[in-house]
Structure 1
Amino acid sequence: MTLKKATLFIILILLVDQISKVYIKTHFQLHESFEVFSWLKIYFVENDGMAWGTKLSDFIPYISDRTAKLSLTIFRLIAILGIGYWLLISIKKQVSKVLVLALVFIFAGAMGNIIDSVLYGVVFNDSFSQVASFMPIEGGYDKVFFGNVVDMLYLPMWQGNLPEWIPFVGGKNFIFFEPVFNIADVAISIGFALLIFFNKKAFPKTTIENA
């Protein structure tokens, strides 16, 4: 894959991700939902932490939520620089197409969520009991680096009580799939899935011939 093709692919993923987020943010109130199918709902939530709402302060209790949020955003920015550098080097060296494609998905997905974390607190007002506005006159709901990631895809494919014989969770109500996510999360998941399931193609072993 050439750098031009990789860039176009990244831009396409970012456009789909950001257009969907801006639409949800400017048309839905927080926790408002819309059923597409019985197994697919549009459900607007905001995530100010990591995956599934986990916060850095959950693991490091002596730091505040604000410090944890800022630290997470800075870490994401550093990580995206590293992924971007890896992608550029991989394209330049013409390594495995699977590896390049995986990095394209991961980079685009990470960038999509970083845009939310860095800018959304400034360009939108909050969505509590109201539909947010883009670039409101009164200002956004927070400062740069303190934005929340917009999630909206909810796939409750099955819900019911688990069998009693299952250790620890038996008898409890269970929803599959409960986490709410976005297009950027899908891109990141696809990237990691490519690396896991096509690991040998992504990282082929080079044969060294004896002289």
Structure 2
Amino acid sequence: MSKKGWISISLILLILVFDQIIKIVVKTQPLSWIHTLPFIDYTENNGMAFGIELPGKGGKYFLTIFRLIASIVIAVFLVKMVRKDVKTGIIVGFSLILAGALGNIIDSVFYGVIFGYAPILHGRVVDMFHFNLFHFFWPKWIPFFGGKYFEFFAPIFNVADSSITIGIGYMLIFQRRFFKENKL
């Protein structure tokens, strides 16, 4: 296997192991010291980003199967890129995205069965990081917003979500450098 293949596999495995260890520790220690740490706010997401859910029982199956198919497509594409000797930066970006997708798929496919609350493909994604840097109620005299609660950076996310976001951001920031010569 090429050096780029080893880089990809190592990065994916490192992120997957780190993601799953953190999720299992946070999930299985609900009343521990972990939850007194700043920026830790344990929750489980039944849907996708920002808690958006597809309706009905079929919605969860569709979402999980879509995640599986998308991950397989990304994995096949990644293998082809490694074989074509595409720039290492592109391989790193796609590896980050795939690692994050696989981390959340493990939750969706297996956590319901492992933790005994749902059948296979019906698990919930464990989220725990909440960087609520500041929050307040708008003064009542401000039009439209008066008296409403405001929270800066409300999303709660996990290592897998971060890996996807960093991979996409990395690809966007360096896309001119990566795609100047390579034609995928």
TM-score in terms of structure 1 length: 0.78
Look up the match of 1:18: 20
Contact map agreement 2:109 2:123 (CA 8 A) in 1: yes
Q: What is the identity, as a one-letter code, of the residue corresponding to 2:35?
A: F
Higher helix fraction (1 or 2): 2
Question: What is the total number of aligned residue pairs between the two structures?
Answer: 180
Q: Please provide the CA RMSD for this pair.
A: 2.4
- Partner secondary structure for residue 46 of structure 1: strand
Of 83, 88, 94, the residue aligned with 2:85 is 94
Q: Report what 1:7 is aligned to.
A: 9
**Corresponding residue for residue 74 of structure 1:** 65
Q: What amino acid is the match of 2:51?
A: G
Equivalent residues in 2 for 1:85-164 (5 A)? Answer: 85-124=76-115, 140-162=116-138
Give the letter aligned to residue 23 of structure 2: K
- CA gap 1:165/1:10 in 2 versus in 1, 3 angstroms: farther
Contact 1:33 1:43 in 2 (8 A): no
CA radius of gyration, larger in:
1
Which structure 1 residue ranges, 5 or more long, are not aligned? 58-63, 125-139
TM-aligned CA distance change 1:36 to 1:96, over 3 Å: same
* Alpha-carbon shift at residue 71 of structure 1 (Å): 0.4
In the alignment, the residues of structure 2 paired with residue 36 and residue 27 of structure 1 have an alpha-carbon distance, to the nearest angstrom, of 13
SS class of match (1:5): helix
Correspondence for 1:129: none
The alpha carbon displacement at 1:172 in A equals 3.0
Aligned to 2:178: 202
Counterpart amino acid of 1:89? K
Deviation, structure 1 residue 160:
2.1
What are the residue-to-residue correspondences of 1:178-193 with 2, within 5 Å?
A: 178-193=154-169
Identity %: 41
Q: Hey, which of these two has a bigger chunk of strand by percent?
A: 1
In 1, are the aligned partners of 2:26 and 2:34 still within 8 Å (CA)? no
Cα displacement string for residues 161-203 of structure 1 (whole angstroms, at most 9, x for unaligned residues) = 4588998656632111111100000100000101111111231
In structure 2, what is the equivalent of residue 60 of structure 1? none
CA distance in structure 2 between the partners assigned to 1:12 and 1:200 by the alignment: 28
Cα deviation per residue 1:36-95 (whole Å; 9 max; x = unaligned)? 34xxx21110001010100122xxxxxx1x110000000000000011011111111111
Using a 3 Å threshold, how does the CA distance of structure 1 residues 5 and 160 change in structure 2: closer, same or farther?
same
Residue of structure 2 aligned with 1:46, choices 39, 44, 47: 44
Structure 2: gaps (5+ residues): none
